[in-house]
Amino acid sequence: MFCTGTLIGRTTVLTAAHCLYSIRTRSYLPAGLLHFVVGLDGERFAGHARGVRYVIGPGFDPTVTGKTPGADWAILTIDAPLGTADRVLALSDHSPTIGTLVMLGGYSQDRRYVLTADSSCRVLSVSTDMSGRPLLEHSCTGTRGVSGAPVLTEENGTWRIAGIDVLARKAGAGGYAALLDAVRQRLH
């Protein structure tokens, strides 16, 4: 599986929990099998690390698509300090409001080794999933591989992570992102 993750600390990556789950074996992958690369340019990269351990959003159910996307996040600890000051993104302190301009960037199946971004999309709604967890609907385009990518907002000239992309809309552009309330609690 190929997903996007974001450095949020020296050895900490934020991504989607479903990226760590194997449908074939019906189990989560061992952390040591997970590879994280930074500065991907074609097939070259600036740094590589392997997973050491991870935490999945409480209550996430990878077997029922769409039931718990608000908990579809994971914090992965990696074995090398790739998170330098120019590579780490901070989490936003709050959830964005409807109409907020956002950006989604990731490594999609269409251009697997090239970072692509939709930089002119907006928050369409903020609601809850079927389990009552917060979920953001956005108008950004993205395909497979963009799962786990950050939904970014610009706050006072600084880009911050407002959510983690977890689902695409069934028809047309847009998707859904897990909001970060539980992630912030876990990190503090």
pLDDT for res 1: 66
pTM equals 0.93
The set of residues, in sequence order, having a beta carbon less than 8 Å from that of 188 and lying 6+ positions away, is: none
What's the confidence (pLDDT) of residue 112?
A: 66
| Identical topology for domains 6-78 and 90-180 | yes
pLDDT of 145: 62
Whole-Å CA distances, 82 to 7, 20, 49, 86: 8, 20, 8, 10
Cα radius of gyration rounded to whole Å, the chain: 15
The structural domains of the chain, with segments of one domain joined by +, span 6-78, 90-180
Give the C-alpha separation, 119 to 142, whole Å. Answer: 11
CATH superfamily label, 90-180: Trypsin-like serine proteases (2.40.10.10)
Assess whether pLDDT exceeds 70 at residue 87: yes
Question: Among candidates 116, 140, 136, which has minimal Cα distance to 126?
Answer: 136
Pseudo-torsion of CA 95, 126, 171, 22, nearest 10°? 60
How confident is the prediction for the chain on average, in pLDDT? 91
pLDDT of 113 reads 72
The dihedral sign for the CA sequence 128, 129, 132, 134: negative
- What is the percentage of the chain residues whose pLDDT exceeds 90? 71
Label residue 187 exposed, middle or buried (CB < 10 Å: 0-12, 13-18, 19+): middle
Residues 6+ apart with CB under 8 A from 78: 11, 12, 13, 36, 49, 50, 51, 52
The CATH number assigned to the domain with range 6-78 reads 2.40.10.10
pLDDT in tens, 126-149: 999 999 999 999 999 876 668 999
Contact call for residues 142 and 168 (beta carbons, < 8 A): yes
44: confidence class by pLDDT, cuts 50, 70, 90: confident
User: Look-up: residue for tokens 């847009």?
Assistant: 174
